[in-house]
């Protein structure tokens, strides 16, 4: 499945959230990640985030799509992490 994850966490926990999310998804820009992920890995990602975050203070929103086929992506301004770039 294709997933977009966005978080708003306390400054003290940003580095922890970033580290966990980068293990599973591609960093797009500040607090935003996207990519293909299996249901099992998504479950692990959510479990790891719950362990690192304060769910009474922090927020994570996860959008899941069965396919990326019918989606489009438009960027206004600076693209922080070009996922189409190859070295």
Residues of each annotated binding site: 8
> How many residues comprise the chain?
87
CB contact at 8 A, 3 and 67: no
CB contact at 8 A, 70 and 42: no
Q: Provide the 8-state DSSP code for 28.
A: E
Residues flagged as binding site for Mg(2+): 8
């Amino acid at each position: 499945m294709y997933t977009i994850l966005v978080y708003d966490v306390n400054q003290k926990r940003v580095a922890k959230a970033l580290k966990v999310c980068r293990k599973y998804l591609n960093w797009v820009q500040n607090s935003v990640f996207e990519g293909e992920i299996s249901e099992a890995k998504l479950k692990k990602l959510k479990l790891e985030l719950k362990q690192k975050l304060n769910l009474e203070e922090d927020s994570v929103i996860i959008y899941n799509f069965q396919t990326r086929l019918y989606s489009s992506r438009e960027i206004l301004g600076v693209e922080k992490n070009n996922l189409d770039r190859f070295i």
